[in-house]
A and B are shown apart, each in its own frame.
Chain A
């Protein structure tokens, strides 16, 4: 729905749009992540709803100009609420031939294609595998509104008087591109200008150069005759409140710091760097004044075992990793489970197996997290639905860990971790406290019983240093109440069941499953984790189109919400879209004997709304 009026500078046409998808792409050294992030910021500050999808190459510096080195950042901004960074791209900014080649297929017909014309020279063209310059070939790009802009030389001219080296000068071309796109979408550049000033506070020449490039790009939009239309996307009507933008990894860090602050406890983070989980370590490392201790361990095994030690000693302890690292942590998690100590293990999933697709998203660690420990060793599993939801689910994970004295797994994924969306800054009074009680009774002559249980079947948590409660824990099977080592057959059966029942009992303390859409009907779509946005939008559209379909998004994966089995029975069919080959589907089928069908994609990419919609229709119509 676009309305048109003639306004703005030079009498150019201003068209109003509801939602726009922009993608910046270029070489990994071109500063495309920065351009995307800044564009997101100015759009968020303007009041649009935003959703982003950064896309990194696996190599830090693949050879410049090659297809493998292309880095992209997609953002959807809108005047109504949105849940995904969008299917098709409206405006594509391609800084070189390789970026054009790898991204142009996602540009919608009639969309705007802005290219850095200077970069389309012989060597770049051949590195990208073009035999001739696609910009000279009217036909291949005929479906798009192509804007050939010599960004490198225009940037060089704009900063000429500053006396920078040619390399430094050319580096500013991402700001030129940003400026042009800011003009195209009528963005106020002030937040970016402020950012540049503080970022390069110690290098005034770079402040000036980047601002000059930014303004040059903007002014180019005003003056060039090639661009006649620019667009307006009004602010979205989000619930009133104060907002900021968060990525999933930031929100997880905030969530844990909040949990620790609310509990009045020290937060201990033991971790080993791995993409895409490292940012959690980075964020928490900055927050030492919140009584946060971060420990960069020598490997993931040391990370989880240090967390076991810290938890034993009384800290709220967490670790985060991604697939390969979680695989290494299995034995340590089992130790935490048999010792019944609280801790949270975050898995920011990426494409596997092994090193797999380290910078791409996937949901294929569900089996590993559900089952990947030796022995019968169920652990609670929760999964945030979106970047902002990480704040809440991190606290939920910690609450469950502490109340039930157990390790808890939090399943995020690369899409949530790096993606960003507006987050309504919570009122402090609305935060749910986390209560921690440490056993400290000095019982006269009576021996302390480390495996005595409360009504939730949780055992007491004692901080070493507490007189009279000295006790030993360990990985050997133990008898209940006393905690003494006991290998007897009956005892092992008893303790295995008891631990499983304790975890299953958590279902009584988590919210029941809610459904979006009709309470019964033809189809229930069940999703979990980062596919929330695409599935939610697809179901909404399908309902609008008259289909009888509802959506249940699971944030609690073990145990499942108590009513899930009943919910499933209300629909004729069940569809489970996942970015794996059907892991939740297998578990749902096994648990509820429901004949669920799957929509499964393992390409390192999130679902498109259109893919999910199409499958919904197929499943319903195939009656």
Chain B
């Protein structure tokens, strides 16, 4: 195998487009954009092979700000657009940028199907638990009781948990990170980029205009250590400023917080296995929600399955091997013909 050494060395700057960024000052989207620009040059993929497809929402302006190929499509439909891009041209690395309203309200259908098909695209869901672009209505991830312009008395909907939905659709890669957790986010994005199949990443994103601080529990230094748990494959679930707490399964196989020492050792804890084919562990992790439990951050699930795009092309290939390359004349002359 020869290694292509001719690839130009790229830097984050090479991925910045000349368009003025129009997000509100201090919007969490800036950080996600910055981390993306950091990660892409490390992947060894030529710049022209990236395509960013988004729906509609504040976050969906993202492709305009990247100097790659990109499409700002319509509300909720980016996964379907991306499926078309990837099927037409499997050489491309295709990213889907979407918001919680975009992907889980109007686009719930496409979101589910891109995951269950395992199309080789990377879906980054910017979850700010609010509709930003339309100026602050509650979203399908807003907690019950959220007061907004459309719910002055508090919302009565029960929220969706994006990771549970993703795992339910048998996502082969599912992860979570936080906008300001720079290193962690870079790492998760990089792992998503390298995953073969649909990679789903939920990013807690602060909409400081309409839903400021919704994820402070997971982003504030000094507090987050007590509220989140960083997942590492093969390692026990330990958290806390002093790494003195862990997660254990109780007698009903439900997760519970325990303190290490006092008779509880690391071996008693739940160990993370992102490669488990069985989805129970991933579901269980997704069910851990603040404030009852520390919320897991990192890769919940990462398994290898054939991708949809590969399967489609395998069929094209085997049909061609079986029937020979398509011949129009032969096609037209199949069945009963007659000559006048």
Contact = CB atoms under 8 A, between A and B. Distances in A.
B340 A47 contact: yes
Most buried by B among A244, A257, A469: A244
A47 B338 contact: yes
Interface string B39-61: 00000001111010100100000
A190 to B, nearest CB: 10
Nearest to A462: B69
Given A290-B328, A485-B64, 19 more contacts: A191-B336, A239-B340, A240-B339, A243-B338, A243-B339, A245-B336, A257-B331, A270-B84, A290-B331, A308-B81, A312-B85, A313-B92, A464-B89, A464-B92, A470-B69, A473-B70, A474-B70, A475-B72, A484-B19
A314 B17 contact: no
Contact of B84 (A44, A242, A295, A465): A295
Contacts, number: 217
A471 interface: yes
- Which 5 A-B pairs have CB atoms at the shortest separation, nearest pair first? A309-B84, A474-B72, A290-B326, A306-B84, A313-B88
A317 B73 contact: no
Interface in B152-167: none
B84 A307 contact: yes
Interface stretch (B123-131, B268-276, B317-325): B317-325
B332 A475 contact: no
Nearest to B319: A288
B85 to A, nearest CB: 4
Contacts of A466: 48
Contacts of B19: 472, 484-485
Interface string A218-251: 0000000000000000010111111111000000
A310 B88 contact: yes
Interface string A329-352: 001100100010000000000000
A464 B84 contact: no
Given A254-B332, A332-B77, A465-B49, A472 B84 contact: no
Contact of A302 (B64, B77, B339, B340): B77
A268 interface: yes
B340 A288 contact: no
Nearest to A194: B336
Contacts of B325: 289-290
Interface string A453-488: 000000000011111111111111000000011000
A237 B340 CA distance: 8
Contact of B333 (A45, A244, A339): A244
Given A291-B326, A335-B74, A45 B109 contact: no
Nearest to A341: B71
A576 interface: no
A297 interface: yes
Contacts of A301: 77, 80, 110
B83 A295 contact: yes
Contacts of B81: 305-306, 308-309, 312
Contacts of B242: none
A375 to B, nearest CB: 13
Nearest to A265: B88
A245 B337 CA distance: 8
A299 B333 CA distance: 34
